[in-house]
A = this chain, B = another copy of it.
């Protein structure tokens, strides 16, 4: 159970079978940093020009295709004061007829929002643009926007989007303390991480969270079981992720994966799993901005514990 401190020297804008930057053992912990979505580091220097630059990939010993990689997000901490965001609802989240009524979307250079991040106070305070919100201060909820493993079949998939391997899911539920599970497609899994947000609403409807560079720590382990889509465990819920367009299809993926999980690991028959989901399932809309949308399907751990205790 070694803890590795890793300083990235280059970044990737695809998740693929790239040369790994560090080889770690099952159970190890990695301490490293991530750039923001635009490639800017803790000093606001732009060190990578591609979208959502990834730190990694990390080779995890023992991970083979068909396994599951568990990644516990130990620490997600902004490492500078400056955060930025979109300030206009994306054209695909409004009624199409409303889009024509707005001014053209401002470019990120002059039009984007700026936020002051106070790490001690754990707040994000709006600096620009000047609106009737004034210097609105919001509690920080750091989360990771884009992470995952190398996809199968030799694909190298842009960090702008997501699929079964993870990627740019932009789900505000991916915060510190959560363990995320990815389906391993290549030897070593090849784990990537980046695109930290100090805060983000559901749907990422302005196209960004509050984008910022991070200090991160996470712990990896290998499970000898097979999953189809990313899964996670939070303090209160188990959840499954579907990535696709339209939202309907993302929801189908997440729902099918939850039905499988309840049957394979929680001892339910299919009619029990379905009946339970009918009255107790929860969904979150993670993002409706990226090329693939993301839906999380959730079940209460307390409820599942009670069911297992009773059966």
Report B-chain residues with C-beta under 8 Å of the C-beta of A173. none
**B246 A248 Cβ-Cβ under 8 A:** yes
Q: How many residues of A contact B (CB 8 A)?
A: 91
Whether a CB of chain B sits under 8 angstroms from the CB of A22 is no
Query: Could you say which of A31-39, A60-68, A266-274 contacts chain B?
Result: A266-274
Give how many copies assemble into the complex. 4
- In the complex the two chains form, what is the Cα distance from A202 to B105 in whole Å? 31
**A133 B206 Cβ-Cβ under 8 A:** no
Whether a CB of chain B sits under 8 angstroms from the CB of A234 is no
CB distance from A287 to the nearest CB of B (A): 11
Report B-chain residues with C-beta under 8 Å of the C-beta of A226. none
> Interface 1/0s, chain A 130-158, versus B by CB < 8 A?
01111010100000000000000111111
**B86 A91 Cβ-Cβ under 8 A:** no
> Interface 1/0s, chain A 115-142, versus B by CB < 8 A?
0000000001010010111101010000
Among A138, A207, A245, A285, chain B packs the most CB atoms within 10 A around the CB of A285
With both beta carbons as reference points, the residue of chain B lying nearest to A99 in the complex is identified as B99
**A275 B85 Cβ-Cβ under 8 A:** yes
- In the complex the two chains form, what is the Cα distance from A271 to B276 in whole Å? 36
**B91 A288 Cβ-Cβ under 8 A:** no
Report B-chain residues with C-beta under 8 Å of the C-beta of A202. 281-283
Whether a CB of chain B sits under 8 angstroms from the CB of A187 is no
CB distance from A286 to the nearest CB of B (A): 10
- Chain A positions near chain B (C-beta within 8 angstroms): 12-14, 16, 50-51, 85-105, 113, 124, 126, 129, 131-134, 136, 138, 153-158, 199-210, 244-249, 251-253, 255-256, 259, 267-272, 274-285, 288, 293, 295, 307, 310-311
With both beta carbons as reference points, the residue of chain B lying nearest to A104 in the complex is identified as B100
With both beta carbons as reference points, the residue of chain B lying nearest to A87 in the complex is identified as B275
CB distance from A295 to the nearest CB of B (A): 8
**A255 B104 Cβ-Cβ under 8 A:** no
With both beta carbons as reference points, the residue of chain B lying nearest to A16 in the complex is identified as B156
**B310 A252 Cβ-Cβ under 8 A:** no
**A203 B251 Cβ-Cβ under 8 A:** yes
26 A-B pairs with CB atoms under 8 Å apart are A50-B153, A88-B271, A89-B274, A91-B99, A93-B251, A95-B253, A96-B99, A98-B256, A98-B259, A99-B99, A100-B102, A100-B103, A124-B279, A126-B275, A129-B271, A132-B267, A133-B311, A134-B311, A200-B279, A202-B283, A205-B281, A206-B278, A209-B279, A247-B247, A283-B284, A283-B285
